[in-house]
């Protein structure tokens, strides 16, 4: 599991209303959700985001609603992974369940700047800021979660269990 992309930086307490406003929750069309991803935090995000890009944010990313539309919109917008100082719990479990890679790292969240080019190697436990040449160690997921992630999400992992 390795990713590389340009960074879009956000502050703390980015909530699910900003990630995908409720006015777009009348659909399950992932492409449509992607078009409005992060709209109330940065209305041009969808235009700027390129495939593989990385979101870096402060603490409590994804707080608020349980809407899975939030990680779905981020994933569908082409974002390869989200790095934050910390994540709100429902957003965290939703991301694990749908296979959106998320990384909790205070040092990386603080050190990485907007537009930096960053590579992530989850297996090696490393985040590299290619622009600043800084490296950040990241903790591994607990084995219970790793099983879900490796299977490609919760539903896939349940199929294997059966």
Partner 1 sequence: MGYTITEKILLRHTKDKEIHPGKFIDARVDLCLGNDITAPFAIEEFEKTGAKKVFDKKKVVLVPDHFAPAKDMKSANQCKVLAKFAEKYGIKNYFEVGRMGVEHALLPEIGLALPGDLIVGADSHTCTYGALGAFSSGVGSTDLAAAMATGECWLKVPESMKFIYYGKLSKWVGGKDLILHTIGDIGVDGARYRAMEFCGETIENLPMDDRLSMCNMAIEAGGKNGIIAPDKITSRYVRSIKNKAKPGNGRFYSSDKDAVYYEVKEYDVRKIEPLVACPNLPSNVRAAKKLNNISIDQVVIGSCTNGRISDLRIAAKILRGKKAKSNVRLIVIPATQKIYLEAMAEGLAKIFIDAGGVFSTPTCGPCLGGHMGILAEGERAVATTNRNFTGRMGHPASEVYLSNPAVAAASAVKGRIAIPEEVL
Binding site for partner 1 (CB under 8 A): 13, 15, 17-18, 21-23, 25-28, 40-41, 59-60, 63-69, 72, 86, 88-90, 93-94, 97-98, 142, 144-145, 148, 153-155, 158-159
CB of 132 to partner 1, least distance (A): 27
Q: Which residues fall within 8 angstroms of residue 75, CB to CB, at 6 or more apart?
A: 30, 98, 99, 100
CB of 155 to partner 1, least distance (A): 5
Closest CA to 141 of 132, 150, 133: 150
CA distance 43 to 59: 21
Specify the residue, 80 or 95, whose C-beta has the smaller distance to partner 1. Answer: 95
Specify the residue, 51 or 162, whose C-beta has the smaller distance to partner 1. Answer: 162
CA distance 116 to 133: 10
CB of 30 to partner 1, least distance (A): 10
CA distance 2 to 122: 6
């Amino acid at each position: 599991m390795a990713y590389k992309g340009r960074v879009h930086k956000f502050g703390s307490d980015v909530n699910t209303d900003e990630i995908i406003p409720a006015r777009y929750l009348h659909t399950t069309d992932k492409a449509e959700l992607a078009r409005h991803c992060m709209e109330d935090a940065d209305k041009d995000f969808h235009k700027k985001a390129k495939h593989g890009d990385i979101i870096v944010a402060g603490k409590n990313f994804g707080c608020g609603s349980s809407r899975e539309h939030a990680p779905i919109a981020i994933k569908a917008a082409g974002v390869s992974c989200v790095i934050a100082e910390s994540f709100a719990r429902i957003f965290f479990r939703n991301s694990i369940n749908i296979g959106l890679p998320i990384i909790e790292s205070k040092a990386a969240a603080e050190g990485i700047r907007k537009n930096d080019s960053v590579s992530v190697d989850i297996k090696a436990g490393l985040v590299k800021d290619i622009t600043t040449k800084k490296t950040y160690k990241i903790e591994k997921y607990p084995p219970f979660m790793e099983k879900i992630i490796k299977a490609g999400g919760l539903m896939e992992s349940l199929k294997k269990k059966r």
